[in-house]
Structure 1
Amino acid sequence: MHRIILLLLSVLTALHAAEAFPLRPAVECQERGGLPNVAAKIAAGKPVAIAYFGGSITAANGWRVKSLAWFKQQYPKSEFHEINAAIGGTGSDLGVYRCGHDVLQHKPDLVFVEFAVNDGGADPLQIQRCMEGIVRQTWAADPATDICYVYTLTGGMLGDFKDGHFPRAASVMESLADHYAIPSVHFGVEVSARQRAGTLVFRTSKPSDAERAALGDKLVFVEDDVHPTDAGHDLYTQILTRHLPNLLAGTHQPHALGAPLVADNYEKAKLVPLEQAKLGDGWTRLDAATDPRAKSFGERVPSLWRAGKPGTTLAFRFKGSAVSIYDLLGPDCGQVLISVDGGAPTAMARIDGYCTYHRLASLRIASELPDAVHSVEVRVDQVVPDKAKILFDHNRPDLEKDPAKYAGTNWYVGGIMLIGDLVP
């Protein structure tokens, strides 16, 4: 009965949140407070560190690389340094936990935040909590850091633009941009206008030579409905850089945090090294010099550990309201059993349909907990998930070709994500 009541409350909360965030008018750029502190550094010829914080659209060698080149060409007296904090397939729900490690420890002067696509299916209140947490963490670390929201799009969002509105996630983020006077640029306004005019096409697959020839001089913007082609990234860059001169203005001054928009935002979100928890026998800390996974992901996590033997446990106590594990999904991974506050264990596989390779992921343990002391135990399960059933059809041949690659019950962990603090 208790679980049913909680479920009903969560549904009602989500419905209320959706009603509270009507879609915003589709305006390409809102200057708001601009980027005055970056402008002052550029005017003085000082070095500028620019963080690109987002998902796979930002991780690609596209608008991120091209806009950084624009800064260097436009303002040659300043030295520009890139902080690449983009991870494919991730939204602000992971971003708020990794902000300190991936962004703030590198002391950025400007942070471009791009999560509107990967937050597309998230609850509006959750988006607000996470995005506000990122803002407040950033300005608590350095109130002189400027922030700019950039919004990308998918083919599924074109309908909102046709009606003259932003999609939901960007609309929600605009409420925070208003509250904190953060400038924003939506790349989708011009993209959708060109699509309606017939000069730009969205593709869900790569065109054949004949199809490409039939398109003539039309810009093929994407070939998978999400990720821009190089020409698409050129367009994204043109949209951003035509607004940057106006944004790079104003008087140098620290950003004031003031009162939060959402009282229970995730400003206190943190990523805790795994070694601060209680590790049972069977854990191995991986070395980037000898392990390919540690080499690939070591810069993204405080440290990377592997538990390969069934029965190996991770246990800890914390005071707070939410907890997740920053881990990897991969072909040689198994499943884990999760127990919170002594409750019945829940099984979670650490492989999904995409897993012909390893990638960073977030294992949600619990959220919306009372702000009190809670206990967590996660155990590597002896049961091996049916990987052939889990993999997408087009990835199954990889398992058939190399079954040894998929053997194992490994669990790779990079840290503990908390709204709260570990306690003894």
Structure 2
Amino acid sequence: MIKALLITLLLGFTAGTVLAQNQQIDDTGNAPALYTIQHTANDSWKGFERVNITIGAHKAYYVKPEKALEGNPWVWRASFPDWHTDIDSILLTKGFHVAFVNVDDQYGSPYALQVWDAFYQYLTTKQAFAAKVALEGVSRGGLYVYGWAKRNPDKISCIYNEAPVCNIQSWPGGKLSAPGDAALWKQLQQVYHITEQQALDYKDNPIDNLDGLAAFKVPVMHIIGINDKLVPNAENTNILAQRYNALGGPMMIYPVTAGPQELNGHHFPIEHPERWADMIMGYSYPVKKVLPYTDYFITRSGLANSLSVFSAGKKATVAFLGGSITYNPGWREKISRYLIERFPLTSFHFIQAGIPSLGSVPHAFRLQRDVLDSGKVDLMFVEAAVNDNVNGLDSLTEVRALEGIVRHAKKANPLMDIVMMSFVDPDKIRDYNNRKTPLQIKNHELIAGHYGLPSINLAKEVTDKLNNHEFSWQYDFKDLHPAIYGQELYFATIKSLLNSCFDKQQAAAIKANPLPKPLNALNLNNGRYYSIQNAKNLNGWAVNPDWAPNNNLSTRPGFVHKPMLIATKPGSSLTLPFTGTAIGMAIVSGPDAGIISYSIDGSTEKTMDLYTEFSSWIYLPWYVTFSTDLKKGQHTLSLKIETDNNKNSKGNTCQVLYFLTN
């Protein structure tokens, strides 16, 4: 009977509390009391002063050492703060703080992790605790430790766990060899808002998705009972260790064999707690200075409109418009998940409009088809600084393109919020180190400032953090297409911007602010794809209805198995009647790309080389403009294939997927 009671105390709580906590999420999809932090009466814990607070309905506290170490290092207990307290007492004596927030009825659910976010924000900003914390988990505390750590690997100095639950199918599910707990299994499904089948298929257990923690080389320590039958090591710690080590994550396991092994091996004594305290201290102190994310974004007018839509708990659409850094898996998926977890009653539609190699000019012309044609967009992220640099785009055209994107988007939905982002590349690092602001970032900030848009300067952040020796380019970030470490850094900064906007602003009546006068009257605010079927007087040109290369060279999604207007012989010509202030074309530039000549309305002919530095190995999507400053009205483009070609090209080909008009 006593053992059964202890099992309940260590692994489970009653379902009545769960219902009370679920009520914190109201009909709007928000948790309005979540961030209301109030102080209650102080008391003592193990002879140290304890500061008690509440976070919404949740009790929390932090324990103060007699004399804090420089930088305020701290330990965060995930569950059962009065179980095996020797390590915490030792660390308090050494100058650490110890903190705890009670969400023990939530099994590490997304709701619980929102509470953790609020507690962390309070302790690090209001109490000046260190930016990196040592996490301690006992039993099911492992669900909280890994749930929060995987979402915040940049904020962890180390992880210490005792007999941690690492797999909900093992406990409380009992679907493997462990007995589990049927009542608590149902309770977990309730607080996660999932069905049993979804719980069985759940793919974000502590044993899953450890790559971010491994990229940050977070040290992990697991103390286990060698014959634990309640949370069997083979279903929990052993799987996590195998996967974490395979990813390059540092981890040690210490199996306890001495002393009494109780509760089917789930309870055991901690041998030499002073050694574990020393290890935690070694990983956490001295506290290393970390440059804050808040230094690298400007909120300006904020995100009040999208916050109101998200808070309504109905439907919302978020678009990601960018190049390969947006297309590749990483920060975009994490931001999508963050929004789903922060606004759990809202049904999100995410538009993935990242296409490798494309910058602001392609974005301006494809915005309508790739984003706006999908319906009303509430929030859009835009990035183009890297590809605009790589593609050699001139400053004036970039300003016209970026401004056109904003005005076109706002014309489609005046209530749309837009976040402008500038990612890093080696040229930008070099510019900043030479005390020069990169041209592309000047232009992104120019547009963001003029229209009151939030903006993030990730290029400056990466440069500063490299110079602050927080990580290395060679081994951590690795490339302008960031490795996992860089993706986590991008996510953390973007999340920090969103939190800053959402936490400071209240969901209110949606308001459309009038657009200011344009910075450039010839901006691409009406950019469109213009069908190749509009071409006239075709001489040597033909449409391939399903173009694909006849070699093994790479292609880009969306630019293969499409109708393509193609000419391969010198002298081939066409005309294109169009209306607007700009004209261009979207082509694929491969190893046989040629040189064209063109004129508009009978003007002097100009030539353009369609071969790029990348054309030898890929059929590259390449957007070229012939003019962006025409008078409004009707015009005619004349196009011809030249006899000459680039010395590296194998032919004279021009392959047009779309014409471009504004």
* TM-score scaled by length of structure 1: 0.74
Secondary structure of the residue aligned to 1:118 is helix
What does residue 212 of structure 1 align with?
Answer: none
Q: CA deviation at 1:418?
A: 2.2
Residue 358 (structure 2) pairs with residue 68 (structure 1): no
Match in the other structure for 2:315: 47
Deviates more, 1:269-278 or 1:347-356: 347-356
Provide the C-alpha distance between the structure 1 equivalents of 2:464 and 2:539, rounded to a whole number of angstroms: 59
Letter in 2 for 1:275: Q
Question: What SS is found at the alignment partner of 1:64?
Answer: helix
Match for 1:325 among 575, 578, 585? 585
Which amino acid letter does the alignment assign opposite residue 421 of structure 2? V
Cα distance in 2 for residues equivalent to 1:60 and 1:117: 14
Shift of residue 300, structure 1, vs aligned partner: 9.6
Q: Is the 8 A contact 1:139 1:255 kept in 2?
A: no
User: Shift of the alpha carbon at 1:232?
Assistant: 0.8
CA–CA separation in structure 1 for the residues paired with 2:568 and 2:459: 45
1:335 counterpart = 2:595: yes
Instruction: Return closer, same or farther for 1:296/1:236 CA change in 2, 3 Å cut-off.
Output: closer
Q: Read off the aligned partner of 1:150 and give its amino acid letter.
A: M
**SS in structure 2 opposite 1:185?**
strand
Amino acid at match of 2:359: G
Say if 2:622 is the partner of 1:361: yes
Aligned to 1:254: 512
Distance in 2, matches of 1:373 and 1:237, equals 45
Structure 2 residue runs of 5 or longer lacking an equivalent are: 1-293
Decide which moves more: 77-86 or 175-184: 77-86
1:412 positional shift = 1.6
Q: Is the 8 A contact 1:191 1:200 kept in 2?
A: no
Partner of 2:476, secondary structure, is strand
Q: Which residue does 1:116 correspond to in 2?
A: 385
Conservation of the 8 A alpha-carbon contact between 2:582 and 2:630: yes
Letter in 1 for 2:619: H
Kept in 1: contact 2:336–2:350 (CA 8 A): yes
Summarize the alignment of residues 19-98 of structure 1 with structure 2, pairs less than 5 Å apart.
27-98=295-366
Answer 1 or 2: higher relative contact order, Cα 8 Å, separation at least 6. Answer: 1
Deviation per residue, 1:161-183 (Å, 9 max, x gap): 45777533222222222221111
Aligned residues: 357
Say whether the 8 Å CA contact 1:273–1:302 is kept in structure 2: no
Instruction: Name the residue aligned to 2:656.
Output: 413
Q: In 2, distance between residues paired with 1:342 and 1:181? A: 42
Distance 1:52 1:317, change over 3 A: same
Equivalent residue letter for 2:458: F
Aligned mates of 1:163, 1:118 — CA distance in 2: 21
Which of structures 1 and 2 has the bigger CA Rg?
2
Structure 2 residue corresponding to 1:199, chosen from 470, 480, 483: 470
Q: Secondary structure at the match of 1:40?
A: helix
Are the equivalent residues in 1 in contact too, given 2:534–2:577 (CA < 8 A)? no
* Aligned partners of 2:556 and 2:620 also within 8 Å: no
Cα deviations by residue, 1:58-113 (Å, 9 ceiling, x for unpaired): 22222222222322333332233222222222321222122112221123221101
Tell me if structure 1 keeps the 8 A contact 2:545–2:562.
no
Distance in 2 of aligned mates of 1:301 and 1:41: 38
Instruction: Indicate the SS of the match to 2:381.
Output: strand
Question: What percentage of aligned pairs have identical amino acids?
Answer: 28
Whole-angstrom distance in 2 between the partners of 1:114 and 1:96: 12
What letter corresponds to residue 376 of structure 1 in structure 2?
L
CA distance in 2, matches of 1:352, 1:253: 45
- Contact 1:102–1:300, Cα closer than 8 Å, also in 2: no
Whether the aligned pair in 2 keeps the contact of 1:112 and 1:148 (CA below 8 Å) is yes
Query: Which residues of 2 match residues 132-147 of structure 1 at below 5 A?
Result: 132-147=403-418
Aligned to 2:440: 169
What amino acid does structure 2 have at the position aligned with 1:239?
Answer: T
Counterpart CA distance in 1 for 2:404 and 2:417 is: 15
> Quick check: 228-237 or 100-109, which moved more?
100-109
- Bigger shift: residues 179-188 or 275-284: 275-284
- Kindly provide the amino acid, as one letter, of the partner of residue 167 in structure 1: P
- State the alpha-carbon separation in 1 of the partners of residues 396 and 606 from structure 2: 26
Which residue identity does 1:379 align to in structure 2?
Answer: K
1:339-377 Cα distance to aligned partner (Å, 9 max, x none): 333355444343333122212112332344455654321
